[in-house]
Amino acid sequence: MQETLKGKVAIVTGASSGIGEATARALAGRGAAVVLAARNEEKLEFLAREISAAGGRALAVRTDVADEASVRAMVERAAGEFGSVNILVNNAGLGLSGRVEELRADDLRYLFEVNLLGPLNCIQAALPHMQRGGRIINVSSVVGKRAIPKVGGYCASKSALNLLSDALRVEVAERGISVTSIYPGTTRTSFRDNSRRTKDEERGWRPRGVTPERVAEKISDAAEKGGRDVYVTFPDRLFVAGTVLAPGLFDRVLRSWAKG
């Protein structure tokens, strides 16, 4: 593996599990110093030791992205330890299942605290440390582009993140900082087990999905080269294009998912 990110400092939120963990490994493999941020400190320390043992540089910092003070402290530590922040991967996120009619406002409020205000807290804390060439990478979802039944609250949180990314991209362009939205489809992580659930509804069919390592490669490519919208698979891109071209048709197709 070429050390294409040597000398760069990358913050990865949600690095204790799934896509974030794989991304931290991938970025470290490309030579970046990685700051591992999540709440589970034990898992972060374990990963930091693994990366260090492989010759990389990693710093584990217990962080709750929904807590502005916690995020500011993490970014200050990162900048203090490594001198700057070049890459921010806003990956920490939470799922919420439930029909719109039944969603609890408290669950939705918390979801937005993590999935929208979390990235906002990180962006606002990291931007003052970023120079030209800085990269902000927000992990969204294909269902942030087209909502599907029984997870409408989650889809809304990712859609809101997309809009924030679009505004920010234009605002920071003159400063030479890029903003990338990544849209993974189903990915084989603990995401579903970690999701909040409105009711003990039967879990519907889901595609088998891709490995978190595959998503991590796309994120790492964006950390190197930037980019606007990044899909992980061609079918994901096709799904989103289809829903834009024929939204009513997709409504009808998705009705079968809303049953049961």
Ligand X SMILES: NC(=O)c1ccc[n+]([C@@H]2O[C@H](COP(=O)([O-])OP(=O)(O)OC[C@H]3O[C@@H](n4cnc5c(N)ncnc54)[C@H](OP(=O)(O)O)[C@@H]3O)[C@@H](O)[C@H]2O)c1
Number of residues that bind ligand X (CB under 6 A): 30
Element (H, E) at 39: none
| C-alpha distance from residue 217 to each of 43, 213, 259 (Å) | 21, 6, 36
Among 60, 116, 139, 164, contact with ligand X (rule: CB under 6 A): 139
Among 13, 97, 165, 178, binds ligand X (CB under 6 A): 13
User: How far apart, in whole angstroms, are the C-alpha atoms of residue 230 and residue 9?
Assistant: 21
| Minimal distance, residue 183 CB to ligand X, in Å | 7
Residue 52 carries which side chain, given as an amino acid letter? Answer: S
**Any idea which residue has 């709440």 for tokens?**
39
In this chain, which of 11, 34, 35, 63 binds ligand X, going by CB under 6 A? 63
* Selected range binding ligand X among 12-20, 77-85, 100-108, 125-133, rule: CB under 6 A: 12-20
66 binds ligand X, rule: CB under 6 A: yes
Q: Which of 110, 154, 183, 231 is catalytic?
A: 154
92 interacts with ligand X by CB under 6 A: yes
How many CB atoms within 10 Å of residue 227?
Answer: 17
Tell me which H or E stretch contains 129.
none
Q: To the nearest whole angstrom, how small is the minimum distance from the Cβ of residue 112 to ligand X?
A: 12
> For residue 145, what is the DSSP state?
T
Q: Is 84 in the site for ligand X (CB under 6 A)?
A: no
Phi, psi of 103 (to 5 degrees): -55, 140
Phi and psi, residue 253, nearest 5°: -65, -40
Task: Check residue 64 for interaction with ligand X (CB under 6 A).
Answer: yes
Residues in 191-220 at the binding interface with ligand X, rule: CB under 6 A: 191, 194, 209, 212
Binding of ligand X by 40 (CB under 6 A): yes
Q: Does 153 bind ligand X (CB under 6 A)?
A: no
- Which residue's CB is nearer to ligand X, number 4 or number 188? 188
E-only strand ranges, the chain: 9-13, 33-38, 57-62, 87-90, 96-97, 135-139, 178-183, 196-197, 229-231
Q: Which two tokens stand for residue 35?
A: 């700051």
Q: Which residues bind ligand X (CB under 6 A)?
A: 13-14, 16-20, 38-40, 63-66, 91-94, 114, 139, 141, 184, 186-187, 189-191, 194, 209, 212
Which active-site residues does the annotation give? 154
